[in-house]
Amino acid sequence: MLMVINGISFLLAGVATSFVRGAEPARAPHIRVGAGPAVVPLPDLEPAERRHTFLADTKAGIQYVWRRPGLRNFIIVTALFNFMLMPMLVLLPFYVERQLGVPAAWYGFLLAALSGGSIVGYAIAATVRLSNARRGIIILGLLVGVPFGFTLLGRITTPWPALAVLAVTGVMNGVIGI
């Protein structure tokens, strides 16, 4: 029931934000010259040749990533990995309710364990220096470890071990993400 209330609150927040108006556009300052006001245009802060549209910037970013095989492969693998991982998070409330049989607050605890583990994983990945070959082997192992953690989670029927498994899975996911 709490999930339904939470969903409705998000919908109401979305409707409410549709009524928010943006700031008024900045107007050029007026100064008095002679008998009447004269409009002084704001200076051109960026040369016309440096201006880009959103689509042009996006195209340039995609081209930049595509020309760098390591970065391109990382983006593709991470995108596919997260695409496959997200259904697990969508099913987590049902797991909490049906498999664990605990209050809905445990959904938040499990997400906090996963998120906290990810932060620890980010910190580990940022501080531990590895050669490229060793890093690749570790990443491949973790790409197997995260799905294994979620598979193991499906066999757990008590909340505290589930919390521990999601924390460890979060650490692995954090290392992969960096």
pLDDT tens-digit series, residues 12-48 = 888 888 777 766 555 545 444 444 455 445 455 555 5
The whole-angstrom distance between residue 55's C-alpha and the CA centroid of its chain comes to: 22
Q: Given this model, what pLDDT does residue 48 score?
A: 55
Average pLDDT over residues 67-74: 89
Higher pLDDT, 63 or 43: 63
How does residue 170 score in pLDDT terms, banded at 50, 70 and 90? very high
Q: For 46, what's the count of Cα atoms within 13 Å in the CB-facing half-sphere?
A: 4
Mean pLDDT, rounded, for 124-143: 88
Does residue 171 have a pLDDT over 70?
Answer: yes
pTM of the model: 0.62
